Structures are given as C-alpha cells and as structure tokens.
Amino acid sequence: MGGKKIKRALLLICLFSLASANQAYAKCNDKRAPDIDWSGCKKTHKMLDDTNFSGSRFDDANLENSSLDDSNFNGASLVKTNLTRASAIRAQFYESNLSKANGYRSNFDYVKLRESNLTKSEFSRASFKNAELFDVDWSKSELGRVDFSGARMTNVSFRFSNLSRAKFQDVRLDSVDFKGAYTYRTRFEDADLRKAVNLHQLHLKFACGNDNTKLPEGLEKPEIWPCSE
C-alpha cells in the first residue's frame, strides 16, 4: 500500500506541474492589451511599439532587445524586468514600478516617467535624453554613464546611487536629491543645480562642469573641473 500511495502522489505532482506549465505558457501567449500578465515571460527581440500596457505585469520578464516605443506602461509592474538594450522612446510610465529592473544600454529618450519607483535598478549606459522625470525614486541604483542630457527633472531621488560619468548636461534639476550619491566625473556642464538637494562641495570636487554650471547658494565651482579636456 505504501508504494502505491507514493506512486499516486508522484503522479499527482507531475500532473499539477504540467498543468501549471501549460497555464504559464498560455499566459505568455496572451495578446497585447491592458492588464495582461506577462510575468516571467520571454519576449526578446519583439516589436511591441505603440501598445497600451497600462496596469500590466512584467515582473521577472525578459524584454531584452525589444522595441517598446510610444507604448503606455501607466500603472504597470516591471519588477526585476530585463530591459537590456530595449527601446522605449516616448513611452509613458506613470505610477509604474521598475524596482530592480535591468535596463543596461536601453534607450528611453523622450520617455515620461512620473510618480514611479526605480529603486535598486540598473540602467548603466542607458539613454534618457530629453526625458520628463517627475516624482521618481531612483535611489540605490546603478546609473553609471547614463545620458540625461536635456532632461527635465523635478523631485527625483538619486540617494546613494552610482552616477559616475552620468551626463546631466543642459539639465535643470528641481528638488533632485543627491544624498550619498557617487558623482565621480558626473557631467554637469550647462546644468542648473541651484535647486538640487543634498548636493555638497565634495560632490563637485569629483564631478565635471563649466562656467555655465549654476550651483546652489553656498557652493563654489572648483578652480579646475576634472573634465576640463
């Protein structure tokens, strides 16, 4: 009797696992639409432009090298999503969760990010040129060499993030928090930092700027900027 019970239990486990796998596979084949659940799905090298993904879930999904241009991710969850080398030009992310997402070398130019969570994310060498970044928590993240040139930033937190060699050229930073941020050779040429928060002289010592860099009251430009070449 004991052997039969064990075999029956193993059979039930196998059937349950197979059913779960089939359900997951069917979910990943769902057509593009609001409120879909593509969590854990592989959607690499896909053309997903101009799609309404509002309220959808992409947690742990793989969107590497996919095109998401002009798409709507308002209220979407992209926790731990792989966005490596993806393109999301002009996409919208309002009240979205991209915490722990990986966007290495991704293109988010002209994107609109508002009231969104990007904590502990990794967007090294990504491009956010001319982006609108309002009420964004980007703390404890890897943002080395990210290009924010021409972006509009209001109430953005870079607390304890790595901003080494990131570009803030020609950017106005209103209530942007730099507490504990690493600013080695961060590019502030032509940037307006007068309303930056928790920006200290030590940040500027290792950062880069020029005569057009505007600083908060009480801070001074270094005699020689490190990136004067």
CB 144 within 8 A of CB 126: no
Phi/psi region, residue 15 (left: phi>0; alpha: psi -120 to 50; beta: rest), is alpha
pLDDT of 223 = 84
Burial 182-196 (b: 16+ CB within 10 A, else e): bbbbbbbbbbbbeeb
91 contacts 111 by C-beta, under 8 angstroms: yes
What is the pTM for the complete model shown?
Answer: 0.87
pLDDT value for 226: 78
| pLDDT value of residue 228 | 60
One pLDDT digit (tens) per residue for the chain, 229 residues: 456 665 565 554 554 454 444 444 448 999 999 999 999 999 999 999 999 999 999 999 999 999 999 999 999 999 999 999 999 999 999 999 999 999 999 999 999 999 999 999 999 999 999 999 999 999 999 999 999 999 999 999 999 999 999 999 999 999 999 999 999 999 999 999 999 999 999 999 999 999 999 999 999 998 888 776 5
Q: What is the pLDDT of residue 134?
A: 98
